[in-house]
Each structure stands twice: as C-alpha cells, then as structure tokens.
A and B are shown apart, each in its own frame.
Chain A
Amino acid sequence: MAQVELKQVRKTYPNGAEAIFGVDMQIDDGELIVFVGPSGCGKSTLLRMVAGLESVTSGDILIGDRVINDVSPSERDVAMVFQNYALYPHMSVRGNMSYGLKNRKMDKAEIERRITDAAKMLKIDKFLDRQPNQLSGGQRQRVAMGRAIVRNPQVFLFDEPLSNLDAKLRVQMRIEIKKLQRRMNVTSIYVTHDQTEAMTLADRLAVINEGRVEQMGAPMELYSNPRTLFVASFIGSPAINLIPAKFDGTSLIAGDMALAGFSDLPTDKDLVLGVRPDVLTVSDEGQFSINVDLVEQHGGENLIYGSLPSMVSDAGDVQEICLKASQSLLPGLDEKMTLAFNPEDAFVFEKDTGARLK
C-alpha cells in the first residue's frame, strides 16, 4: 500500500523528441487512477516511467516516500499487466505466476499459497498446469492479472490490458478489475485510450494530451466541468457538439443563429460553443433547428444526428449535431427538428487556446 507522487516529471528521448512535459500528480493510497488520452499522447510512456521501463529525464517519481528514479524495475515493488499479456510461452500458468516470486527467493510454501489464493480469486485454478497457448484470450488476461496479484505489490500498473479482448469480454473484465482493485485496495494506474473504460473504472482520471496532463479529477467532474476544449471533446460518449461561434456583446452568433443567455465573453476572438448531446431538448420555441440525417436506435435511447442548414463550411462540410433522445422520439430522415438547451449547461471555449471561458 502506498501513494505515488510525480514531481515535474519530464521525458526527452536521446534523439531530442520530447514525450512528457513536466507532469505533477499525487495518487492516494488505494486509489485507481486512469491515464486517458489519444494514442501518442504519452500516457503509456508515463506509466512505463513509473514501472522503470523508461528512464526519467528530470523530475522525481516517488512510491511511498522513496524516490525510485534510479531503482531497478524489479525493486520498485510494482507489478504490471501488459496489453498483449506477455505471458511466458514456455512456462505453465503456475510457472508464469511463480517466476517472479522464485527470483525473489521466496519460500516455496508461500509461493504455492499465493498462487492458490490468486487462482481462486480469478477462477483460473483449473488451468494452473496449462500452457498459455492452450488458453482463451480472457483466460490469458486473468493469468496476466494473477501474475501481478501474487507479487502483492505496492502499485499495480495496467497498460491497456483489455484492448485485445472482444467487446463483451472487455466489459466483463472491466467490472472484474474494478471489483478486484476495490477488494485488494492496491494503488493502481491504468492506461487506456477508451474513454468509456476510463469513466467507468477511475476513481480519478488524468486526461493526457501531447505529454501534458490537461485535467485531473473525478470522472463526473471532468464530464460536467471540463477545463479545456480537449477534455470536453475527449470525455463523453457520444462526443460533445462543438459549434464555432462569435460573441457580439449580447448574444452568441453561430451561423444565422443568435443564442441569448451568454455574457462576459470576448467579442474579438473566435469561440467554440460546446453542448452535450444529452442537454439538448426538442422544443417548439427552440433556439435552432436541424435537418435529421440519421437515427441510431440503441434500445433504451435514440441518437439523432442532424445538420445545421445555416452552417456549411467553405469546403462544403456541414455542422453535425447529435442529440440523445428517448426511444419514443423517432423522426424521419430530412425531418426538421427544433432544439433548445439551457445556456447554463453549455460551455464556451476560446478556439485558439482551447481554454474554457464559461
């Protein structure tokens, strides 16, 4: 059990490429933190720096109160679950789980006890003598987890552990990982590019973009109070509607729409209006109307995609709008719908910097 602290952590590769630009972070004991961001944003690099698989260019990484920058990976007391599981192909499941413990010269009876416990917990006790290539994807995933659990580490590190599983299994394992982490109460860092996984797993999540932490906080806090345009667009499914706009002193102008209810915004800058699909409502006295292009029926809800007729870019691209509606609302194609939203529920960002203004 330990807390993890990152202080001004930077990573520059020998060829001069910069991957991480000064990350500060405090992870509490027993907390499950998710690093989320698009591919190439540096989230895996940051995790691998904590694991000791990448060197730290400057700054400090602490586990407990020990600076571990120069501690070898095996002595950091962390265990990692890899994306492709990295199970040792020539060792049985038992061999995979015991390998790290044997290297630590642990007592045989203790190794056996830990393997039995972990195998029971993960329901892999029937496969202990099988080779990895005799297991299904889900079972391999469990063995990879088991290999981490028997180490009884201070910190668990997960590097996109579910991305090789099919959709159904992914949801199932996601729930199990969450339960397991709750039960064992081990500080964990989990890397994913999947925002649903991030939202559902995290105690807190860190949205990482181009080597920087854009925002860190509880999932719902990031959803309802994003600090930047990037966070707003990355968190939430379906994605937030982003509409280019200008402020004329009294209302927000987007295409031929003038939206009231906004104030204290700069008039000389390009702005972006952000409206979540679930705060849009159908209303006869709506603020704007869309032409319906597509309706996706998800069972409990419908996602209605339409375009704003007044906003067509020079390249001919239409401004898409998505609306989350109940299953009973089923408009026909090209039907015109009038929509409304409460300005309180909308965000306004500065286009160039991405900073949130409202």
Chain B
Amino acid sequence: MRLNPNQKLARSAWLDHVILILGSTFLMLPIFLMIVSSTHTSSVISQQGLQFWPGTQAGANYAQVARLEAGFTDQITALAMLKNSLVIAVSIASLTTVLSMMAAYAIVFFKFSVAGFLFWLTMLTLLLPLESRFVTTFQVAATLGLVNTFGGMVLPALAIALGTLFFRQLFLSFPNEYLEAAKLDGAGPVRFFWDFIVPLAWRRGGAIFVVSFMIGWNQYLWPLMLSTDESRYTVLRGIRLIGLESASGMALGVLTILPPLILVILFQRYFFQALVDTKDSF
C-alpha cells in the first residue's frame, strides 16, 4: 500500500520530533543534573556523584553561596564575582557590537582603496584566538598598566571579527540609493550612521550582542592570567575556587548560567531572525 503525501509528511514530522526531543534531552541533561545536584549536601555529591532526584538542601546551599566569602583573604563574595563577570561581559558585548558596526560601516560605505585589505586583515583575527597570543598580549597589557583592571580584561577580547563580517554582509544588502537619497537630503557620514545604520541594524545587532556577551561571560584563562587581585575575580573563576564537587559549587554553577540564559530568552527573536532570515525587507 502506498502512503499518500500527507501521511508521509506526518510520519517524517513525527520522526523529526523524536530526534529533536532526544537531542535536546541529551543537551539538557548536564544542566538538569547540576540543578538537581545543587539541592543535595556536599557529602552526598562527593560520595554518590551527581544526583537524578531533587534533594532537600536547596535553601541551605543557595543561602551558603550568598554568604560565600572566598579567596585567600576571604574578600570576594559570590555577588561580587557575578558583578565582575557582568561588567566584563556587558562591556565586551556592547563595545564589540558598536565597534564592529562602525568598522563594517567604514568598510562598506566609504570606498577607500584599502578597505578590502583592512577587511581581510580583520578576518585574519578569526584565525588567531586570544589564547594564541596570550604572552604578547599580556606584555602589552602590563606595559599599559592594565593588569588587575576591567579594561585589561575587556580590551583584548573586543577584536571579534565575526561581528564585522556579520554587519558587513548586512550593510551590503542595503540599497545604495538610501545613501544617495540621504546625501541629497543633507545627511553627512555621521548623521547617516545615526539616522540609518543604527536604526536599521540594531535588531540584527542583538545577535552579535548575545554572541559576544557569551564570549565575554565564558572567558576563563585571560582573566585568570590578568587578575591577581581577588576583588577582580570572575564567577567562572569562583566556581573553580569553591570546587564543583561541593553543593555550593553546584549552586554557584546554576547561578552562573542564569544571566546568559535570561539574555538569550530576551533576544531570541532577533537572534533567530538574524541567523535564519536571509531575505530582507530593505
């Protein structure tokens, strides 16, 4: 018996759902285990490993994290570490978004002869992750007196070529007539940027904001190298400090994934639009 097209479609949609459910369960499992384990005592976790059923110690564990004072001199609290991470990630996200928007604006709309060369030079940084240039970057940061400062943790991470590439592709899809009509309407380069580029690109820019926030938030090695002062510790370093195999470490881990999660939920509409929607309304 042959299936009619509707049945075929129904069957493949059913199969799709099974695959998707299995996949997302697999991906969510570690997070689930972390959340569940954070409700047990440290001794349960260290003796029996990760837990699959909720325990009764949630209140005590999270209260302990809130009171936590870590570090050699016990100066740094969980809240302070979360704040540090937030300052760094928000700075990296907003500066990267603005800078890559401006760089792409210059490359696309100002027809200077080295624009193409500069663009590819920017792309080249994709091949050189921050980790590969730690030693020299540290020397530069030290010379500039940026050790133990937020500036030192933010600046080297700003060169995210992905943002420039993303905005360049977006701007290339703008009809040239916008610029020409705006010229006739008396808009110079700065005004065109504020009146056209920013309002037309900021929604898409949300995707770059989210991606670079993640990069900033998940930084581990560079802040570790650069900050000896405990008051500059980030929350990722705090997890390491407390130890993941403890209940409070689990609880801090849960708290650590909250800010990026909230951000993704807030921006997801723009995020998916930017990544999926290739056809534009311009």
B186 contacts A53, C-beta separation under 8 Å: no
B186 contacts A82, C-beta separation under 8 Å: no
Whole-angstrom CA separation of A200 from B47 in the bound complex = 92
Closest residue of chain B to A89 (Cβ to Cβ) is B282
Q: Quote the shortest CB–CB distance from B205 to chain A (angstroms).
A: 14
Cross-interface CB contact of B185 among A53, A84, A90, A99, cutoff 8 Å:
A99
Within 8 A of B (CB), among A64-123: 72-75, 78-80, 82-84, 86, 88-90, 99-100, 103-104
A99 cross-chain contacts in B, Cβ below 8 A: 182, 185, 187, 195
Cross-interface CB contact of A79 among B178, B180, B184, B200, cutoff 8 Å:
B184
Q: What is the number of contacts between chain A and chain B, taking CB atoms within 8 Å?
A: 57
Q: Is the interface of B mostly helix, strand, loop or mixed?
A: helix
B281 within 8 A of A: yes
Closest residue of chain B to A51 (Cβ to Cβ) is B184
Whole-angstrom CA separation of A103 from B188 in the bound complex = 10
B281 contacts A100, C-beta separation under 8 Å: no
B281 contacts A133, C-beta separation under 8 Å: yes
Tally of chain B residues near chain A (CB < 8 A): 18
A147 cross-chain contacts in B, Cβ below 8 A: 181
B175 within 8 A of A: yes
B52 within 8 A of A: no
B186 contacts A84, C-beta separation under 8 Å: no
B184 contacts A88, C-beta separation under 8 Å: no
Whole-angstrom CA separation of A167 from B196 in the bound complex = 33
Cross-interface CB contact of B183 among A53, A89, A104, A133, cutoff 8 Å:
A53
Q: Quote the shortest CB–CB distance from B277 to chain A (angstroms).
A: 15
Whole-angstrom CA separation of A103 from B186 in the bound complex = 6
B183 contacts A84, C-beta separation under 8 Å: no
Closest residue of chain B to A157 (Cβ to Cβ) is B184
Whole-angstrom CA separation of A9 from B282 in the bound complex = 35
Decide: A89 near B200, CB < 8 A? Known: A84-B175, A103-B186.
yes
Cross-interface CB contact of B196 among A52, A74, A75, A88, cutoff 8 Å:
A88
Nearest 6 A/B pairs, CB to CB: A100-B185, A86-B177, A74-B186, A103-B186, A86-B181, A90-B199
7 pairs of residues in contact across A and B, judged by CB atoms under 8 Å: A73-B180, A74-B185, A74-B187, A75-B186, A80-B184, A88-B182, A133-B281
Other than the given A86-B181, A133-B281, A147-B181, 6 more pairs (CB < 8 A) read A82-B181, A88-B178, A88-B181, A88-B182, A89-B282, A104-B186
